Structure 1
């Protein structure tokens, strides 16, 4: 059966494995011809440990990061900071800058110095959501919040008649107000000394800011509702803070991360300062704790980025926190902003730097600022904490501009791609044709790698692409592009990389007469 020709946008065309050719009359997958697009940026799929000593460009990049964050320091309003860089689970670099507190004795903050992390706390709300979803206690990420907080309601001036879901809350697309309605009860010690019942009662009198699934509108309220409601529903005797401590912090070994500011914790903290240089008070966020109450250290934050990065790449160790597939789902973007570069995820604020999507979460609490980030495609994590309320956006951008090219270059130059080689390569080597049209394949070997040179020629177009072939069994080989040879969208639409070739049984001379290539719905027959 000839597969249908598909119309794609304004161009009705068909494609061969040349992937760039306009092919007339051949019943194959389609593409939109885009003369301006180049090959998709190449991201290595393997992660090699860093050598010792470090490569010069990585050492220089780390020095530039330290200079960048040193410029954030202000001796009066932000006297101390610590940053850390993590690569895979094999390399970690941390550095303190400035002082742990103003006044004698001068003490350098370190990787285990505790700082408040503000909205970086929201990461743990999302991990909680995905954990409960994995365990079946949350049935769907798209369930209404009202399934977990039965009395939840809010006035809707848009008459949108839509429900607020867990996924919307976790990705800033719920349309809820920015802050919890704690105002009249806030004190200098506790900014929200209320319970969920009172919050829901007050919220029922307020209006939504936007309909859901329109554009992001940042909401601390959304994350506190999400954390409080789902834990209260599935573990009625456990507070949200207790759940996070037992099911996330302890399993990850985050010994210096938590919610309660005990004397022991305070003794290990950097002192935070306000915009006037005065010591900031450690205000309790009360009911609103899920959205911004937590403290942590650079060492602990790098453990979190190591955990998140471990779900990518060829080696994915099992985790009692979350399975790798859900960690990867958690790292996906949800909304692309109109600038075409910044995105929202769950709970990430994202942007592209040198073709890499940086997943980040910034946070502020009185007297402190923090920024957490990771790039799983590089196995890279970068975090910084500061003992003052400062805008870290430009400094973090500059830090990534330094480290991303350095680590990318290292990975590209040291990519150890293992392409399994068949025991008898001659079984597959030779020329093959497809009866549908002018498509030919020449399978050959070079340096212990088997390649398939796919060619299309109709007299006016002569195009070819040459992926490698991975050996899996005597009759099963797999396409693998060692480098990018097509634009990103086209490659994803065609689903060519990692596609399978199914060979016929070899004859008595161990030569296969042909193979079936499902992506083209074509049986290729040997000609030589």
Structure 2
């Protein structure tokens, strides 16, 4: 029998920021606007699902900008496009392993898989053919063939990470092909409206910032054009606000069944290239960038277009997100600023953990799986978690730990580290007692090299000596 009691609503209880935290955030924003020499800058913080701080610095049309002021967000657009593609996958219309050419008649990139395009491992060129697409009216590129120049395929598909703006133009065209409507309309209908993001648009809507270039050796400005980029729009067309991006951050963190579930969103933020090293520093998943800073894992995206830079970083562990928007061409201060906003709140006001509570029910057969297990002579502990999940943790130096999700067939699937996607099986004796664990053919026994037939190759009959 388990205990029953009320759990406090900690999200609401600790939603407001302390005055000292708010001042530290404002100071960081002001330093960022000065050091970056930005005509204007807006910063915002999302905590536990809602925006808890937003400030502007500098001026837009003579006024201090705010959470509702639009800025162009550049490549942050790619994360929105990725959500649309994952929706197609979840509906069974595509598989991420499908070559693009299975669904879209394209002059280039058709052999790359949809996952490779999302992760920038398609090998396609980084940029569209000249002239500079970000400053050129999109009417010059009405067809997919018009975005590719000489040598569109720069690397073999799947070999390495090579950022490709044309790759996301292809993904936008894929959405249009399967939905029968332009990608911007699909985005509005399937993502923006359900999430209440009515200030995220394809073109600027007042109040919005104008884009500027800042002279490198003088405090002087030059207007930047804001053109419709046509077929390249899915790579960086959107305009948004700090308030809307906080809504988007909350969605990316927790999911929304009207748009995309939390499991698919978690899949997006798994590094797609290289080994699944728990100590990775930077990575790129399915339409999202990832970074590890000061021990904190963040995911999101940065963006730039002529006259604008943007950044959104989310910390899943702390349920925090930082947003930074500015209207200047060259200024990567916003990426550091957005991550520092997260760090400032986390350091000043560490997240209050939810109260510990016992499991709602305990299956005796699962309970007897818990406790110490050994891979050879290396000790591990297995814990039972909510939802019949399991967590394997090394007890000494070395060893691979992982969390496992329960499946309907009585097995478990690895969620992180080396065992991501691998199957854990609990093997029992004829009498029904736990014999050993099998994790992708790795055998774990109750005693170090336990005698019997479970350990491949057998155990020396003389035993330990």
Taking a change above 3 Å as real, the CA distance of residues 147 and 108 of structure 1, as seen in their structure-2 partners, is same
CA drift at 1:49? 1.9
Is the 1:305–1:381 Cα contact (8 Å) retained in structure 2? yes
Partner of residue 402, structure 1: 344
The 5-angstrom pairing of residues 41-120 of structure 1 reads 48-49=10-11, 51-52=13-14, 60-74=20-34, 78-89=38-49, 92-101=52-61, 106-120=62-76
Partner of 1:358: helix, strand, or coil?
A: strand
Partner of residue 255, structure 1: 198
Partner of residue 361, structure 1: 301
Q: Once the two structures are superposed, what CA deviation does each residue of 1:362-413 show, in whole Å capped at 9, x if it has no partner?
A: 1112211100121223222211111223112333444444344456x434xx
Is the 2:379–2:394 Cα contact (8 Å) retained in structure 1? no
Partner of 2:92: helix, strand, or coil?
A: coil
Partner of residue 213, structure 2: 274
Partner of residue 141, structure 2: 194
Partner of residue 452, structure 2: none
In 2, Cα distance between equivalents of 1:123 and 1:164: 19
Partner of 2:309: helix, strand, or coil?
A: strand
Is the 2:372–2:380 Cα contact (8 Å) retained in structure 1? yes
Which ranges in structure 2 are unaligned for 5 or more consecutive residues? 1-7, 216-220, 405-411, 416-423, 438-443, 448-465
Partner of residue 135, structure 1: 91
Taking a change above 3 Å as real, the CA distance of residues 319 and 239 of structure 1, as seen in their structure-2 partners, is same
State which of 216, 220, 223 in structure 1 corresponds to 2:165. 220
In 2, Cα distance between equivalents of 1:478 and 1:73: 46
Is the 2:391–2:401 Cα contact (8 Å) retained in structure 1? no
Higher RCO structure (Cα 8 Å, ≥6 apart): 1
Q: Once the two structures are superposed, what CA deviation does each residue of 1:254-275 show, in whole Å capped at 9, x if it has no partner?
A: 10001033xxx1x310233212
In 2, Cα distance between equivalents of 1:522 and 1:372: 46
Partner of residue 184, structure 2: 241
In 1, Cα distance between equivalents of 2:398 and 2:10: 25
- Does 2:265 correspond to 1:327? yes
- CA RMSD of the aligned region, Å? 4.4
Partner of 2:260: helix, strand, or coil?
A: coil
Partner of residue 457, structure 2: none
Scaled by the length of structure 1, what TM-score is found?
A: 0.65
Partner of 2:156: helix, strand, or coil?
A: coil
CA drift at 1:129? 0.7
- Does 2:313 correspond to 1:373? yes
Partner of residue 152, structure 1: 107
Taking a change above 3 Å as real, the CA distance of residues 304 and 91 of structure 1, as seen in their structure-2 partners, is closer
In 1, Cα distance between equivalents of 2:307 and 2:184: 22
In 2, Cα distance between equivalents of 1:391 and 1:382: 15
Q: Aligned residue pairs: how many?
A: 409
Larger Rg: 1
- Does 2:402 correspond to 1:492? yes
Scaled by the length of structure 2, what TM-score is found?
A: 0.74
Taking a change above 3 Å as real, the CA distance of residues 165 and 353 of structure 1, as seen in their structure-2 partners, is same
Partner of residue 408, structure 2: none
